[in-house]
Structure 1
Amino acid sequence: MTDHSATTSVEVTVDPATAFRVFTEEIDLWWVRGPINFMDSARLLELRIEPGVGGRFLEVYGTDDVLESGRITEWEPGTAFAYRNPAEDVETRVRFDPIDGGTRVTVVQALLKDGADTAFVWPNVLHWLPAWIARRDSAPRTPRELDRLAIALYYEDPAAAARWLHTVFGLDSWDKIPAEGQQPSWIELHVGSAAILLCKRTESAAPAADHAVWVYVDDLDAHFAQAQSNGAKILSEIQQYGYRSYDAEDLEGHRWTFLQARPTQQ
């Protein structure tokens, strides 16, 4: 079978038992609630790992409404746990190894069947864990939610722009600033709870489309119907990317993205 796996690790300044507990019990606190970080961001109430073999890795949408992304197959507190997603033929194992000054947390994701295909998520999210551990002693024990209004800025090189904005203007991110040579598909800076999305400029973009506005609304379908019936130029109808949204232009060609708000967004 072809070896298809991904390994990523971070170092945290707590002992393995604490790192294990924070990783599993506080995942809803350290996992960033951005629009593309869930299978169905618009309905999310909680991200949860149920303890013990047979427990589930869940996106919780309601009392009896959940999405299972894996079932726990190994559970050794302070040492390791693993879960399997049979729908995608992927097994994930998380290991907690003691090091000087703390713990190395390593996540290995592996395809179980030749010919299977998936997007490995952990290389893109594990770096959120040490950021949470560094501030958890003084941080509220509630998930951070984005504001209802965000802006998008378009650049020839969004990664270089993120580094410049971070260095020169001091803008930071709940995620991370891309290093030299990295070109992530999604860059999100934050000012308080407001997001600034950095996007790749396209040659076909209208002159007014050097920036865009993102607005989270309570009822996306009703909002779309109102915009359509009142003459907005619809650029893309409602689509599901993990978040639900549609795009439109205003009377002078500015681009607006409207998204379904999560129930937990104020």
Structure 2
Amino acid sequence: MTEASATASIEVGVDPATAFKVFTEDIDLWWVRGPINFFDAARATAMQIEPGVGGRILEVYSPPDDVLELGKITDWEPGALFAYRSSVDDTETRIDFEAIDEGCRVTVVQSLLPGGEKAFYFWRNVIHWIPEWLERRHDVPREADRLAIALYYEDPPAAARWLHNAFGLEPWNGSDPSWIELQVGSRSIMLFKLTEKRVAQLDHAVWVYVDDLDAHFAHSQENGAKILSEIHQHGYRSYDAEDLEGHHWTFTQARPAMP
């Protein structure tokens, strides 16, 4: 059953006007370029919010005139709030900017519309990128590296906390139990929930980003790789293969801006 709403809140050490500007005008600076942080990660080059009522929230592709409209703004009060109606699911989202002693509290409430059935509650996973970017904006890479690691655990949130506490790995998204992304320099380690389909000997996989996924898929087939799943799309385009000793590999279409 889809949740009726999802709420997330952060505190930043700037005034509401600055926080509003950072959230809206600077979204392309603080939005992390992870492999599952876009609806179509293979083509995404930027995130953009057009100011004012009627403005659009966009995922920008290459060529630059190709976009995915994520929503249309319904309320726009700089330094106070903005709201939008989603174009990709059945939700509406309100973002409030409240002055506090230490700066500003930013609260996002994403709600399922009456009669709605589909909801992508992603803000609770990404809103914390804003204070992290403000604190470390000179060090945080805008693009993830082409090599990422996927690890599978029975309890991904507990594993993420342990990896952070023990090894100092930094989070790139929130504590959604379905997946958690950790940062290692410009590389990401993605933690997924272990399912019955994966046995203990196959509790990890390697992700590699390639320029031409279709050509890579054909080459793998021609050279004897066991294809576990053909090319499919879920935000990112990818396929899964098994090497000569049974290790699992995921190959994913690189975005145009990836170094």
TM-score (norm 1): 0.88
The CA deviation at 1:42 is: 0.6
Distance in 1, matches of 2:179 and 2:239, equals 18
Residue 230 of structure 1 deviates from its aligned partner by: 1.7
- 1:149 lines up with 2:142 in the alignment: no
Q: 1:19 to 1:232 in 2, by over 3 A?
A: same
Partner of 2:240: 247
Unaligned runs of 5+ residues in structure 1 are none
Partner of 2:97: 96
Measured in 2, the distance between the counterparts of 1:85 and 1:175 equals 21
The alpha-carbon deviation at position 206 of structure 1 amounts to 5.5
Of 168, 171, 174 in structure 2, the residue corresponding to residue 173 of structure 1 is 171
- Runs of at least 4 residues off by over 6 Å: none
Q: 1:208 to 1:111 in 2, by over 3 A?
A: closer
Task: Mark the CA change 1:99 to 1:206 in structure 2 (over 3 Å): closer, same or farther.
Answer: closer
Q: Using the alignment, how far apart are the partners of 2:201 and 2:243 within structure 1?
A: 10
User: Would the alpha carbon gap of residues 195 and 83 (structure 1) be closer, same or farther in structure 2, given more than 3 Å must change?
Assistant: same
> Are 1:44 and 2:44 an aligned pair?
yes
Structure 2 partner of 1:4: 4
| Aligned counterpart in structure 2 of residue 225 of structure 1, from 208, 218, 221 | 218
1:209 corresponds to which letter in structure 2? Answer: L
- Report the CA distance between 1:236 and its aligned residue: 0.6
Cα deviations across residues 216-242 of structure 1 (Å, max 9, x unaligned)? 000001100111122210011111110
Q: 1:213 — aligned with what?
A: 206
Distance in 2 between the 1:216 and 1:87 partners?
Answer: 26
For 1:145 and 1:244, the matched residues in 2 are separated by: 17
- Segments of 5+ residues of structure 2 without an aligned counterpart are none
Q: 1:45 to 1:206 in 2, by over 3 A?
A: same
Structure 1 Cα separation of the partners of residues 146 and 152 of structure 2: 20
For the Cα contact (< 8 Å) 1:238–1:244, is it kept in 2? yes
% of aligned pairs identical? Answer: 68
Q: CA deviation at 1:213?
A: 1.1
Residues 200/74 of structure 1: CA separation in 2 closer, same or farther (3 Å cut): closer
Q: Distance in 1 between matches of 2:203 and 2:96?
A: 44
Alignment of 1:84-123 (within 5 A): 84-86=85-87, 88-123=89-124
Q: CA distance change for structure 1 residues 97 and 242 in 2, over 3 Å: closer, same or farther?
A: same
Comparing 250-259 with 207-216, greater Cα deviation is found at 207-216
**Deviation at residue 30 of structure 1 after TM alignment:** 1.3
Among 192, 195, 205, the alignment partner of 2:185 is 192
Letter in 1 for 2:212: D
Cα distance in 2 for partners of 1:153, 1:51 equals: 39
Following superposition, the deviation at residue 193 of structure 1 comes to 0.8
**AA partner of residue 148 (structure 1):** R
Moved more, 197-206 or 79-88: 197-206
Root-mean-square deviation over aligned CA pairs: 2.0
The 3-state SS of whatever aligns with 2:17 is: helix
Kindly state the Cα deviation for residue 113 of structure 1 after the two structures are TM-superposed. 3.0
Q: TM-score, with normalisation over the residues of structure 2?
A: 0.91
Shift of 1:29: 1.4
Of 76-85 and 159-168, the range deviating more from structure 2: 159-168
In the alignment of these two chains, the number of paired residues is 256
The one-letter code of the counterpart of 2:143 is: E
In structure 2, C-alpha distance between the alignment counterparts of 1:54 and 1:175, rounded to whole Å:
29
- On the 8 A contact 2:31/2:142 being kept in 1, the answer is no
